[in-house]
Structure 1
Amino acid sequence: MKRTIKENIEEKLKQELTIDEYEKFTSLLEPITIQKKQQLVFEDKVCKYLYFVEQGVLHSYLTDDNGENHTIQFGFEGHWISDLFSFVSNTPATFNIEALEETEILAISKTNFEKALQDIPKFERFFRILIQNAYIQSQHRIAKNYSDDAEHRYLALIKQQPDLLQRVPQYLVASYLGIKPQSLSRIRQNLSKK
């Protein structure tokens, strides 16, 4: 189900936005359409925006010293994505962000982010909740990487995002799970036999 930015904000705040609050906030956003395989954020360059995915899929990844990419996050409809540390600290990004299909996003710059926090009181709370949730999800993912085997992590991922396999290449799913594509193929074969 496609979720609008208004629904996303109200769900996290557990309250409705006034028309004035919503219009003030959306006036600070820049709609952008990016093509499949187009890169939005580059490691070693400052990430100047937070992005809300309206339609499409993005993924963030880092490249290790051997040139191998490691998927960190997928951003589907209704998700926010960025290199948050770079955005907040104005330092070079650790992650790259790339479109996996044509993607429509709403971008908020650092200046407009600060303006939203200052001019619309609900948004300071909204972004605090957003950042808290991102931190909690990150900690949860780290814990699951140590405590669950790859099959359980795979099952949890497809339960959370049922259309993942239709929209994301298998090698990126494997990368996100921290396994090789061949291992993911074996897991999928074993599950189909059960």
Structure 2
Amino acid sequence: MDTHLLLKTLRERHHFPQEEFQKFILLFQERFVPKNELLFQQDAVVKHLAFVLKGCLRQYHNTPEGTERTIFFAEEGWWCGEMDSFINRTPSTMSMQALEDCQLIYLNRENWEYATRTIPDYALYQIINRGHTVAKLKNMLSNMATETPDEKYRRIMKESPHWINRIPQYHIASYLGVTPETLSRIRKRNRHL
């Protein structure tokens, strides 16, 4: 298993010594998730915290009206899961689906708790990363509440332009909270980007 991407990601938030990393990586298992397969499903307890080595996934929830609303895309170098369900052992309010064939490494709950208790640098990484995640989520919620669909699309084109060719347009439309037809009009209005 090629783990350099995990070490790089950990070191982006906190100095993670090689000897600590060697202990940490032994706690992971590998998993191949084929395109369209669900990693976890809404109303089930999430039992793993995964790290994406290769591929792209989407996290979504089903609205009361029965439509899917995409809220997050996880690509190489991203952690994915549903922390509330994973930590509290409660049913997830979301599902996660592979948009491509994905190569993941993951921690089960027992190994995650063990790493948090016995590998101080991982515990510190968790604290630092949690702070970054909360700040990012607050920013994302603010953007989703205040931006128009055109502004959201322009932000995607600035921050993640590769999504346009990597992720199916109907999932991007779902992420923006618009229909695929509306996304098509938005793309025409913003084709100069």
**Which interval holds the TM-score relative to the shorter structure?**
over 0.9
CA offsets 1:6-28 (integer angstroms, 9 cap, x no match): 00000111x2x323211111001
Q: CA deviation at 1:129?
A: 2.0
Deviation string, structure 1 residues 54-88 (Cα, Å, up to 9, x no partner)? 11001100012222100010001111111111011
User: CA offsets, 1:15-60, max 9 Å, x none?
Assistant: 2x32321111100111111100000111111001111111100110
Structure 1 residues without counterparts, runs of 5 or longer: none
CA RMSD of aligned residues (A): 1.4
Which residue does 2:112 correspond to in 1?
113
Instruction: Report the counterpart of residue 13 of structure 2 in structure 1.
Output: 12
The CA deviation at 1:146 is: 2.1
- Following superposition, the deviation at residue 138 of structure 1 comes to 1.5
TM-score normalised by length of structure 2: 0.94
- 2: distance between equivalents of 1:50 and 1:7? 18
Using structure 1 for the length normalisation, give the TM-score: 0.93
Which residue type is aligned with residue 140 of structure 1?
N
Local SS of the residue matching 1:157: helix
Aligned-partner SS, 1:4: helix
**SS of residue paired to 2:27:** coil
- Whether the 8 Å CA contact 2:154–2:190 is kept in 1: the answer is no
Structure 1 stretches of at least 4 aligned residues deviating more than 3 Å after TM superposition: none
Seq. identity, %: 29
Mapped pair 1:169 → 2:168: yes
Partner of 2:21: 22
1:68 is matched with which residue? 67
Instruction: Give the unaligned 5+ runs of structure 2.
Output: none
In 1: Cα distance, 2:42 partner to 2:107 partner: 19
**Take 2:159 and 2:139, find their aligned partners in 1: how far apart are those partners?**
14
Q: How far apart, in 2, do the equivalents of 1:40 and 1:138 lie?
A: 22
Cα distance in 2 between the residues matched to 1:96 and 1:130: 22
CA deviation string 1:115-148 (max 9, x = no partner): 1111110111111222222222221111112222
